[in-house]
């Protein structure tokens, strides 16, 4: 059973879930918020609890960490642990079972880890204001601090567990080497920093590093205009999963959801669903808002400054007057084949955003993405079978 953290949103103290059916300070039952057991996941869950506490101060929120399958096995490659879209259940399965039985009231996910198809009795309750969704390059302390992807030495090894990242890098930087690297953020940084490390650099999500206060380790932010990298679908966004037909949870979440992030991420997830790609398939996206402050590519410079050199705050244009810009890429694992497309459209609802995502997927398929993805699927099946046979032979 998960342990619970009482959320008055001071430094958390671990304790068992309350046995009482209602909060000690209100007439309402405490809200149990499920999350993975990692440090980053708990930071994210506490951020959600803090937002809920601010919006609904009359409620009590307990953060309940759970050790999930994908965190228990850090040795077996993801391609062997699961295939395609099902790989994402490695991070959500146990939590969803507890949500279904009522042990949890909601689950906090990194949206990029959520399957595009949820169990029939569960639904996506809210997407919060998106943190920086870009990938980030972290350089070994043995290399100059200003090293970038373009200046890494010939044959340097980059650590990543992401097929998407490795495939894009092979396309852009075929002279570099790539090695599998799993574990939580701290584990990966430790492997990079070790004196005998084989890694010259690793790539992690900028959002996680920022949430953990580790953004000082970032040597280069990666985007379409810097490093040529597109991020994962939903990367940087926190999503809340709830039971269907649960009006209480829907009402609680309504005050903390972000419409801009919801529309952009919904377009990305519709694209992924139409392409039938899982978290270990090399599909990259980058969404931003034209006419606004931007969404996916970092801070936009101010248009004007006062006499003291301080940026002049400008009101955000109405969302309905902005256009969603969506860049997409499907690339083969070896980086030798790829299909790209960019679309721009006004999306005035989640439904219109999803329609945009499906239409972009159709264009990608017509331009050759289906053949790339089918080849990847076959290659993954053979690779997983070979790895399993090798494990059996050595056991």
The residues annotated as belonging to the active site are 113
Question: What DSSP assignment string belongs to 66-98?
Answer: E--HHHH--SS-HHHH--GGGGGHHHHHHHHHH
Backbone angles phi, psi at 113, to 5 degrees: -90, -5
Do the strands 177-179 and 157-159 form a parallel or antiparallel pair, or are they unpaired?
parallel
Tell me how far apart the alpha carbons of residues 142 and 156 are, in angstroms, rounded to a whole number. Answer: 12
HSE of 349 in the Cβ direction (CA atoms, 13 Å)? 3
- Output the CA torsion sign for 314, 319, 320, 323: positive
CB 182 within 8 A of CB 38: no
Q: Which secondary-structure segment (H or E) carries 209?
A: helix 206-211
- Output the CA torsion sign for 163, 168, 169, 173: positive
CB 71 within 8 A of CB 37: yes
Tokens of 80: 């062997």
Residue 156 pairs in a beta bridge with: none
CB 241 within 8 A of CB 330: no
Would you give the DSSP letter of residue 56?
Answer: -
Instruction: Name the E strands within 121-247.
Output: 122-127, 135-139, 157-159, 177-179, 201-205, 218-222, 238-243
Tell me how far apart the alpha carbons of residues 283 and 2 are, in angstroms, rounded to a whole number. Answer: 34
Among the listed residues 380, 376, 357, the one whose alpha carbon sits nearest the alpha carbon of residue 368:
376
Residue 25 CB neighbour total at 10 angstroms: 11
């Amino acid at each position: 059973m998960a342990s619970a953290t009482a959320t008055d949103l001071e430094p958390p103290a671990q304790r068992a879930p309350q046995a009482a059916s209602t909060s000690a300070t209100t007439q309402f039952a405490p809200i149990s918020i499920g999350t993975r057991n990692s440090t980053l996941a708990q930071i994210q869950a506490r951020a959600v609890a803090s937002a809920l506490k601010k919006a609904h101060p009359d409620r009590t929120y307990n953060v309940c960490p759970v050790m999930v399958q994908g965190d228990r096995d850090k040795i077996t490659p993801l391609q062997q642990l699961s295939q395609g879209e099902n790989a994402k259940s490695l991070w959500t399965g146990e939590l969803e079972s507890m949500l279904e039985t009522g042990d949890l009231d909601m689950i906090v996910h990194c949206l990029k880890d959520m399957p595009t198809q949820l169990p029939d009795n569960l639904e996506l309750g809210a997407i919060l204001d998106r943190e920086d969704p870009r990938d980030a390059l972290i350089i070994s302390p043995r290399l100059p601090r200003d090293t970038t992807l373009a200046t890494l030495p010939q044959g340097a090894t980059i650590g990543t567990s992401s097929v998407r990242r490795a495939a894009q890098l092979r396309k852009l930087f075929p002279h570099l080497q790539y090695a599998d690297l799993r574990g939580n953020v701290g584990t990966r940084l430790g492997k990079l920093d070790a004196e005998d490390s084989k890694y010259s650099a690793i790539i992690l999500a900028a959002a996680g590093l920022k949430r953990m206060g580790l953004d000082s380790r970032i040597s280069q932010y990666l985007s379409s205009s810097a490093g040529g990298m597109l991020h994962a679908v939903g990367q940087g966004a926190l999503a809340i999963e709830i039971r269907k037909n649960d009006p209480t949870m829907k009402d609680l979440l309504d005050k903390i959801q972000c419409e801009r992030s919801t529309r952009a991420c919904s377009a990305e997830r519709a694209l992924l669903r139409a392409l039938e790609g899982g978290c270990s398939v090399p599909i990259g996206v980058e969404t931003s808002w034209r006419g606004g402050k931007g969404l996916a590519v970092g801070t936009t410079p101010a248009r004007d400054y006062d006499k003291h050199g301080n940026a002049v705050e400008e009101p955000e244009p109405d969302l309905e007057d902005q256009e969603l810009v969506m860049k997409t890429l499907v690339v083969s694992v070896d980086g030798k084949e790829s299909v790209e497309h960019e679309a721009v459209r006004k999306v005035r609802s989640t439904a219109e955003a999803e329609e945009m995502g499906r239409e972009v997927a159709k264009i990608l398929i017509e331009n050759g993405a289906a053949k790339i993805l089918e080849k990847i699927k076959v290659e993954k099946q053979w690779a997983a079978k070979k790895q399993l046979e090798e494990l059996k032979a050595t056991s």
